[in-house]
Structure 1
Amino acid sequence: MGNLTSSSGPRIPNYKPEKVYLFTFPSVRCCPTISPFALKVESWLRLNGIEYEAIRSYSHWSKKGQVPFVEVDGREINESSFIIKELAAKFNKLDDLTAEQQAVSSMVEAMVDNHLVWSYSHYRMLVRKLPSSSRCGREWAR
């Protein structure tokens, strides 16, 4: 795949058009990623049937120093909410919502984002210190 840590040009030089390359942290036993924001993006991609490849590593950071980020058609997109909005427009997956429904949707999304980030902190501080027998015991399957 080339030099995935390069910050100039696309990280996937021979990318497949219309394919989303999701750069995220590695999987943990029970979950595809420890990042709630990456989990949000990956879940959205799966639910919408969009072809993607997850590139899981601790060494891939966006040009802005963020994870997750995606590349699609050689273009980098950052920040989970913005990634979803951009991809929804690109792949014609926009919801047909009223203005009130859009406002409620944005409110719920912000609430979930601000509360799910603590699950990552919980994992880092508590769960990864527990013996492996206390974890789920099976890898997350795509």
Structure 2
Amino acid sequence: MKLDYFEGIFSHARQSLNNIVSTERQRIFPRSSKAAEKLHKAPSRLTPSQRRLTIGAAVVVGAITAYATVSRLFTLFERRRCLRLIQQCEARETELFLFILPRSPWAPSLSPACTRVETFLRANGIPYTAIETIDPLGALNGELPFLIYKRQRVDQLPKMMELITSEFNVAMDSTLTRDQRAIGASLRCTLEYSVERLLYRIVFIDHASLAVAQIARALHMSHLRARLAVRGYVIKLKKRLAITAYGSLVSKQCENEFLQDCEAIEAQIGHKRYLFSDTTMTSYDCAVYALLVSFAYMGSHASLSAACSTVADSAVLMAYINRISKRLFSDIGSGFDVARISFSTSCMDRSDD
């Protein structure tokens, strides 16, 4: 009797345990879709506003990814093309190749530094080939201009001027006195300090559409590719401007510095044809011309900066700039019409006017 009593107790306990295990098994591993639906509620559906936000986020992410991909592919393509071109130039040891920022309707180049080297070459009758680009891949310092001559790649203005002077026996400053050299160096340095960065700020940063239009036109590329190229150039340009005291100035402060420099240039020229003579150009004329020519011919863009009207309204400065333009850049045409300029232009010996 006792044995039957204990068997009843254990049988009841075993049945309860089996029921618990069975219930938990069905909860964890439902045998039918209906059971699964009961145990797991379906997620709530997105509202229309949530759906729009989700789609918008997906579009933005896709656009950013596509932009980054296109930008990367464009950069790789341009660098391969540039490297191939540099190799071709290095193979032609007896020729001088000058890599510059593209030409513009108001100057031989968007860069005053590029215009300065080209003016120096033309003023001394040195044959060369100008190659327009926006990629300074071949320059050791990562900036334009740079030149290739006798398999040498030379960048930085002082080094380029030194190489040209020594290789081609340039003596255009030989008649200048010590005082004249000091005056010329002072004018060049003060003008470089104010003008070059002001022009870059106007064309590439404050009104980047100007640079995009000229680069697309000169390099025969789409506006999208030109915008990508300008964007990359501006990133480097801002870094370079940020490390200088002048880079922290706003455009209005830049213009005030520029106005004072123009007055000094006018006083030095006076009634002469050039800075120090009525007959002979010097390397300082090349530098001053390169720094002023863009503002002289930016007539339709005078509203962008007071610097444009300052030069255009000066009879002394305009006569000076027009004189050098006619003497050295007559092949480019009146007003530097970029539509008439080929991708690469050559300059041979030129006679004075």
TM-score > 0.5 by shorter chain:
yes
Percent of residue pairs bearing the same amino acid type:
21
C-alpha distance in 2, partners of 1:91/1:13?
Answer: 19
Q: Residue 118 of structure 2 aligns with which residue?
A: 42
Aligned partner of residue 44 in structure 1, secondary structure: helix
Change beyond 3 A, Cα 1:104–1:83 = same
Among 1, 14, 17, which residue is 2:91 paired with?
14
Q: How many residues align?
A: 136
Aligned partner of residue 70 in structure 1, secondary structure: strand
Cα deviation for residue 20 of structure 1 reads 1.9
Among 169, 189, 201, which residue is 1:92 paired with?
169
Cα deviation for residue 109 of structure 1 reads 2.0
Q: Are the aligned partners of 2:90 and 2:148 in contact in 1 as well (CA < 8 Å)? A: no
Q: How does 1:41-120 map to 2 (within 5 A)?
A: 41-61=117-137, 62-94=139-171, 95-96=173-174, 97-117=176-196, 118-120=198-200
Cα deviation for residue 10 of structure 1 reads 5.5
Q: Are the aligned partners of 1:48 and 1:93 in contact in 2 as well (CA < 8 Å)? A: yes
Q: Deviations over 1:19-67 (max 9, x none)?
A: 3211111112232211111111111111111111111011233022111
Q: Deviations over 1:96-134 (max 9, x none)?
A: 1333333222222212222221123222223728x99x4
Q: Are the aligned partners of 1:16 and 1:73 in contact in 2 as well (CA < 8 Å)? A: yes
C-alpha distance in 2, partners of 1:55/1:116?
Answer: 24
Change beyond 3 A, Cα 1:70–1:32 = same
Q: Residue 99 of structure 2 aligns with which residue?
A: 23
Question: Greater strand percent: which structure?
Answer: 1
Q: Are the aligned partners of 2:90 and 2:152 in contact in 1 as well (CA < 8 Å)? A: no
Q: Residue 4 of structure 1 aligns with which residue?
A: 82
Structure 1 letter corresponding to 2:83: T
Please give the root-mean-square deviation of Cα atoms over the aligned residues, in Å: 3.0
C-alpha distance in 1, partners of 2:105/2:93?
Answer: 29
Change beyond 3 A, Cα 1:53–1:109 = same
Q: Which segments of 5 or more consecutive residues in structure 2 lack a partner in the other structure?
A: 1-79, 215-299, 302-334, 346-353
Larger Rg: 2
C-alpha distance in 1, partners of 2:153/2:128?
Answer: 14
Structure 2 letter corresponding to 1:78: D
C-alpha distance in 2, partners of 1:71/1:90?
Answer: 13
Cα deviation for residue 70 of structure 1 reads 0.8
Q: Are the aligned partners of 2:108 and 2:336 in contact in 1 as well (CA < 8 Å)? A: no
Question: Greater helix percent: which structure?
Answer: 2
- Give the structure-1-normalised TM-score: 0.76
C-alpha distance in 2, partners of 1:68/1:25?
Answer: 7
